[in-house]
Every structure is written in structure tokens, then in C-alpha cells.
Amino acid sequence: MMKGTIIRLQGGFYDVMTEANQEIRCRARGNFRKRNISPVVGDDVVIQDQEDGTGYILEVEERQNHLVRPPIANIDQAFLLFSVKEPAFSYHLLDRFLILIESKQIHPIIVLTKMDLLDESEVEPIQVAIARYRAIGYDVIETSTEHGHGVDEVRSLFKGKTSVFAGQTGVGKSSLLNAVAPELELATGAISKSLGRGKHTTRHVTLIQLADGLVADTPGFSSLEFPQELETDELRWCFPEFVERHDDCKFRGCVHVNEPGCAIKQAVENGEIASTRYENYVTFMEELNDRKRRY
């Protein structure tokens, strides 16, 4: 028996990269379906190798986290890509992505792309946004694939981590990945050829070894709905600047909406918490309450 990580699902088979850096094509045990176990890319597994070079997955180890769309497990960090122009930067969309990632205990890294497209009058609003998120404690990387700016910084964060890239269409995910790792074009091309699909249409999740880490080649986040398990009283814990001040609220169970003596609302009034963050929090809270009423 040996341990490994599922790096690809293909035609009912699971390609597992072992601790010895050997790739073995495996089937899952027949009783997995009865036990309601569905292995996904990123799962750490125990396998039994066979004489013909294939193997069987005997056990799926406990997951650190799990995303449904795209289906992938045990992610260490998510690079959240947002262009500063074409398409325009969105506080609302960024905060939504941050909630999705924070709720799964995945470390978020904000990456701003296309910095070279800003004209002089557009620089200050973006710098204000950067300062806001850095003040909260988020990592923010400014990039331009046109000039190679920020590419080395992104690459340096791959080592020893399993990473995913997320962002709306057109923000430059492919351009940044190809700038960070030119060999990725070859890797995804080879994978795509074996799957019989175009190399620029990603329908399956695959983990690719890059810069001493694993990077997910995914079809993207097809849904930006909050996880079903996320409750209204848990949303506040996904805002680090709220957590920092939570004990200062008058009421222990304060959810920072209608309660008197709320330290969060006071911090917004004092300019210590960005109004955009609080407004998005209230919007997300309403969304979760609406979902709860529906179901």
C-alpha cells in the first residue's frame, strides 16, 4: 500500500500521484458508492498497486476542505484574480469571492491584473482599494503580464502549496498562468490531447506540478452562490476586520445589523472599516436570510 494525491479524473479512472512522484491510474473500491464516498481531485488517498501497473483506491483520507464547483479538495490557497480595467474592478464581486474562500478555510491571495491599462486618473481609486484590503490583512499582488510586473511574486507562492485560480471571464487568468509558468501551455496541451478536447477549453479539474507546488487547471467557479452549510450567524466570521472588533460589541451574539452598541457599525462610522465592506456584508446577510426562508 502507498499514499498519494488524486491529480486527475478521467473516464471513471483516478490518476494518483504517489509520494514517490509516480503516477498510477486507479479505480475506486466497489463499496465506495454504497458508503457515499465520491473521490475528487486533490483528495489524499491510500492505494494498492497491482502487477499490471494500475491500482485501487482503498481509502480517502479526511479532507481539509472541499469545493463543489469546481470539484476539488484540500486546497491551501486561492489566487483571486480581478482586473482593474476591462472588466472594471468590483468591490462586490471581490467580497463575494472572499466569503466563498474564507468559509472553506482557504487562504485567499488577491491578484490585480492589467495594471498597465490604468490611465493617470484611474490610479488613485485602485490604490485606495489596495490599501483597504491590505489594511484588513489580505495579501494583494499588483500584476501586469504585459510588463512582467508581479509575475515572480505569484510564482514564489506556489512552493509546497495546492493552489487554485479564480476570477470572472476576461480578467487574464490564462495570461498570468502562462507568464508565471510558460511550461503550463505544454502541460495543459498534453492533458487536453489525452482527453480529446481543445487545449483552451477546460472542462475537468486537473492538478499540475508547477514551481514545486500543485496548481489546479480548473473550468472555473461555475457558481458564486454561498455554500449551503454557511449560516447567517457564521457570515460575520468571514470578515477578518469584524472578528478583530467582535468582543467590543455590547451583545455577545451581535450580528452587526440592528443591534445597539455594535462596535462594527461604530467602526464604519469612524472610517475604520470600509463602508463598501459593511454594505456588502449586509447584502450577503439578506441573501442568506432569503435562502433560509425559501428552503
Residues placed in the known binding site for GTP? 113-116, 167-175
Enter the C-alpha cell of residue 219.
473550468
Give the three cell numbers for residue 270. Answer: 469612524
* 3-state class (DSSP) for residue 45: strand
Dump strand ranges (E) for the chain.
Answer: 2-10, 13-18, 23-28, 44-49, 55-60, 66-67, 72-73, 77-83, 107-113, 139-142, 162-166, 206-210, 213-217
Which amino acid, residue 237? Answer: W
* Residues 255-269 as b or e (16 or more Cβ within 10 Å = b): bbbeeeebbbbebbe
69 alpha carbon, distance to own chain's centre: 11
Summarize the annotated binding site for Zn(2+) as residue ranges. 249, 254, 256, 262
Q: Which of 186, 201, 287, 206 is nearest to 16 (CA)?
A: 206
Query: Which residue positions form the known binding site?
Result: 113-116, 167-175, 249, 254, 256, 262
Distance CA 91, CA 134 (A): 14
DSSP-derived letter for residue 149 is B
CB 236 within 8 A of CB 181: no
Q: 190-198: long-range contacts at Cβ-Cβ below 8 A with a sequence spacing of 24 or more?
A: 191/8, 191/217, 194/10, 195/10
